[in-house]
A and B are shown apart, each in its own frame.
Chain A
Amino acid sequence: MSDATAHPALSAGIPAKVETPFQRFRAEFFESKIATVALAVFGSIVLLAILAPWITPQNPYDLAQVSVMDGRLPPGSEAFDGYTMWLGSDGSGRDLYSAILYGLRISLTVGLASGVIALLIGMAIGLVAAYAGGRIEAIIMRIVDLQLSFPASLVALMMVAALGKGVDKIILALVIAQWAYYARTVRATALVERGKEYVEAAQCLGISRFRIVFRHILPNCMAPLIVVGTVQTASAISLEATLSFLGVGLPQTEPSIGVLIANGFEYMLSGRYWISVFPGLALLFTVVSINLVGDHLRDVLNPRLKK
């Protein structure tokens, strides 16, 4: 009862400003300082990853530019080639700052690609279920429920165990592990929308199911899909790092952040913390910033949860 704006007698009194839904969304999103900062942090990370070749002192995977003599240097050391390694170097002499930016390219690619593909596939399956209804819908949803009763990390682990290493394979594994979350989201929206009057009215008017699915259900599941998408992308990035850390994800030739952290693991017990810690911080900033954005998106896009 302490919820002020939820009270029906009150909502009538708030003057309605004329603005587009997007403008309102934007205004509400940037109301939260934390979310704004998180979005800025994530934007910078993406930018740094894209610009990596132009803003790093070395290409850590060009053997000609890496010298083993630079191995395991602490942060701030000077490299053989004269530049400063602000974050130190790893076991084989790569500048960590450069390695992290290059690693972010791979991690972000895997995370975003698997996120988008899983979204599209999950959405398609969810829409098919909503369109078909009846038995087909029941069967699809049982499969979704069954898969969701297992943690995504375990499903992904099993998939990479079957598929092997490599960027394409890990993307496939992540898609398989995550499509069901999107399918469930679409279906939840479909259930709500179907119960609404306008859809019932549309059905009475003899408007085709196809139209109902694409004109009514699809647009309405966009908001929840975006929220689930951000959270799942963060989790995909984190999952890839985990799998790579365990040695079953990406190979050494495609060193994502997870691979970098794994490489530093062996040095950690001897006090050379930086080789694992700095890539870890990069991962942390990425995942936390996406999650904070997602958390706030949920508040903004879901009127029921609005404070």
Chain B
Amino acid sequence: MTVFIIRRLLQALLVVFMMSVIVFFGVNIVGDPVYMLVSPDADQADIEAAISRLGLDRPILEQYWLFLKGAAQGDLGNSFIFGEPALKLILHHMPATMELAFSALFLAIVIGIPLGLYAGLYPDGMLSKGIMAASIFGFSLPTFWVGLMLIMLFAVELQWVPATGRGDIGSFLGIQSSIFTLDGLSHIFLPALNLALLKISLAIRLTRAGVREAMGLDYVKYARAKGLSTRRIILVHVMKNIMIPVVTVMGLEFGSLIGFSVVTETIFAWPGMGKLLIDAILQLDRPVVVAYLMIIVLFFVLINLIVDILYSILDPRVRLQDQGA
């Protein structure tokens, strides 16, 4: 197990290193790094100062070394717009995004898995067919358009919840989040639902497929032959097996939730790092874009790592493979 974790950590480091190479040389090849990293309003003197400060007059390998060193120390350049370190800016916006992504993941699990379970147990029922049709829509509907419709329906027409923004922040067990206040919950509900829609569909399909497969397997028939109640067969025998792939995939999807939050945050004016990114792209605030990219890469690598470890803990076949039986 420890060997496994160390091996995965080394792999993760390798990926981060590779991505830094891609980002760095990508920036150098796609465009002039001066243009990429210095504000367009800068005058000649500023540009020259920046060139020497960023070391752009040195050989490319040395530049890469400097970039790495800066990145390792958390220095990914200053935002042109805010004049602050880009990294700090992103970290400042991160909690709002995390809170949104976690809420969406939560919704996806509590809505998607029960529906998928039902659809898997009664595949020919009308309700199951309805659930599956809805999940195709969930997959096909563009997130941003669903977001608009949600706003129109729940915020403009019914006026149940506010349309945009983040609500009051509360604190619980030392964690600051808007999900701990009623106002905060009313603000996060729509964007979280919007972000969750795709993942709800995914959870439905995964769970349904898993249940259908498991129900036909010998161990379920054997469990029935032992006289177990249907309840125990489904909740213990079937769910325990399918939770492994479902948890794994949903965990991996957490990264994509953060990626997709760019869209949702823009529509709902949610002050997270996705909105920051879009603003940065529109305002050509490149250091922020580069910093976001590096953070996201780190994030994905981390999520992959955690999910891998989680998977090996969940599945006894993997967990125990290093030990002699």
Contacts and interface: CB of A to CB of B under 8 A. Distances in A.
Interface of A: 1-3, 146, 149-151, 153-154, 157-158, 160-163, 234, 238, 241-242, 245-248, 261, 265, 268-269, 271, 273, 276-277, 280, 283-284, 287-288, 291-292, 295
Contacts of B143: 242
Query: Chain B binding site: helix, strand, loop or mixed by DSSP?
Result: helix
Contacts of B281: 157, 160-161, 248
Contact of B141 (A1, A158, A284, A295): A284
Nearest to B266: A246
Nearest to A146: B15
Contacts of B293: 158
Nearest to A154: B259
Nearest to B262: A157
Contacts of B30: 162-163
Contacts of A295: 136
A180 B282 CA distance: 27
B156 A280 contact: no
Nearest to A231: B139
Interface string B167-181: 000000000000000
Place the interface of chain B in its size category.
Answer: 35 or more
A39 to B, nearest CB: 15
- For the complex of A and B, list the 9 residue pairs with the smallest distance between their C-beta atoms, beginning with the closest: A154-B259, A151-B256, A291-B140, A151-B259, A288-B140, A238-B142, A161-B281, A280-B145, A287-B140
Query: Chain A binding site: helix, strand, loop or mixed by DSSP?
Result: helix
B251 to A, nearest CB: 12
Interface stretch (B68-76, B113-121, B147-155): B147-155
Nearest to A288: B140
B31 A162 contact: yes
Interface in B287-304: 289, 293, 296, 300, 304
Contact of A248 (B26, B141, B216, B282): B282
Nearest to A163: B30
Given A247-B278, A261-B145, A265-B148, A234 B262 contact: no
Interface in B247-283: 252, 255-256, 259-260, 262-263, 266, 277-278, 281-282
Contacts of B15: 146
A47 B194 CA distance: 32
30 contacts: A1-B221, A146-B18, A149-B255, A149-B300, A149-B304, A150-B259, A151-B256, A151-B260, A153-B259, A153-B260, A153-B263, A154-B256, A157-B281, A162-B26, A162-B31, A163-B30, A241-B145, A246-B263, A246-B266, A246-B278, A248-B282, A261-B145, A269-B163, A277-B152, A280-B145, A280-B149, A283-B145, A288-B136, A288-B137, A291-B139
A76 to B, nearest CB: 20
Nearest to A158: B293
Contacts of A3: 216
Nearest to A143: B18
Nearest to A159: B30
B147 to A, nearest CB: 10
B24 interface: no
Contacts of B289: 158, 161
